[in-house]
Amino acid sequence: MIGKNMNLKEEAAKKALSFVKSGMILGLGTGSTAAYFVDMLGEKISTGELVDIRGVPTSKETEVRARKWGIPIVRLGEYPKLSLAVDGADEVDPALNLIKGLGRALLREKIVEVHAEQFVVIVDDSKMVARLGTRDALPVEILPFEAEAHIRWLNTLGCRAELWTEDDSSPAVTDNGNYLVKCWFKEGIANAYELAQALSTRPGIVEHGLFLDMATKVIVAEDKNIRILEK
């Protein structure tokens, strides 16, 4: 039963915390749902319920949050195999493929999470979709150099691609110094694997928000219960 004083994101994060054991090296995700997880993890560490935990953050924002809790920060160069990575998602399809990146950290998230023995995704049920691209835009990270050319090419892929901008109309910039583009697909993404391949081989496209065949578990918080989906 979902707790009266917790929202669905918190409940999903709380369930993910049950997979964490002392001594683990964790990938720490980015975004509002992942922030709940980092806070709960920090509380467990501060009370001594979890010990010898280290974390690899997926963004500067997450690193700041983890350090405030005293979570030791390490790098993949030191620890190339992570026990577990926990992060949210913007969309999850029936095959547990994901769209991620609307928290602006898709490249670092993918780098960290591909090193995890287990990648646990935490979402509320609103993020579940029949086809990727039907609920939100697909974020794509591009080089600032000749950005207009990259956006023009993205618009040939059956989507409406627009530069992601701040409130003052300046380009949104990632922790890596790159720009972001939002790609909207009117009827969703017909073939996510083909699209991922096309994006991965195009010069100037740094990374995309399709996380395919990466999630090992998806924790879905609903109004009255929590489901754990596995491949």
CATH number for 180: 3.30.70.260
Residue 231 CA to its chain's centroid (Å) = 18
* Same domain membership, residue 85 and residue 23: yes
Number of domains in the chain: 2
205 phi/psi in degrees, rounded to 5:
-90, 110
Q: Residue 120 is part of which domain span? A: 8-128+212-230
pLDDT in tens, 98-121: 999 999 999 999 999 999 999 999
pTM listed for this prediction: 0.95
* Same domain membership, residue 106 and residue 37: yes
The residues annotated with a catalytic role in the active site are 109
CATH (domain of 120): 3.40.50.1360
**Is the torsion defined by CA of 68, 56, 197, 214 positive or negative?**
negative
Provide the mean pLDDT of the chain.
96
Query: Is 156 domain-assigned?
Result: yes
Instruction: Output the pLDDT for position 6.
Output: 62
How many other CB atoms sit within 10 Å of the CB of residue 8? 20
* Same domain membership, residue 216 and residue 102: yes
Residue 224 banded pLDDT, cuts 50, 70, 90:
confident
* Same domain membership, residue 44 and residue 16: yes
Query: Is 133 domain-assigned?
Result: no
Query: Is 59 domain-assigned?
Result: yes
* Same domain membership, residue 56 and residue 14: yes
State both tokens at 145. Answer: 């150099």
* Same domain membership, residue 154 and residue 96: no
* Same domain membership, residue 86 and residue 22: yes
Query: Is 1 domain-assigned?
Result: no
* Same domain membership, residue 219 and residue 169: no
pLDDT in tens, 16-39: 999 999 999 999 999 999 999 999
Q: Which of 102, 114, 117, 113 is nearest to 32 (CA)?
A: 102
Tell whether the model's pLDDT for residue 3 goes beyond 90.
no
State both tokens at 177. Answer: 């110094």
* Same domain membership, residue 103 and residue 55: yes
Query: Is 13 domain-assigned?
Result: yes
pLDDT in tens, 123-171: 999 999 999 999 999 999 999 999 999 999 999 999 999 999 999 999 9
Instruction: Output the pLDDT for position 45.
Output: 98
Tell whether the model's pLDDT for residue 50 goes beyond 90.
yes
State both tokens at 78. Answer: 């030191």
* Same domain membership, residue 218 and residue 199: no
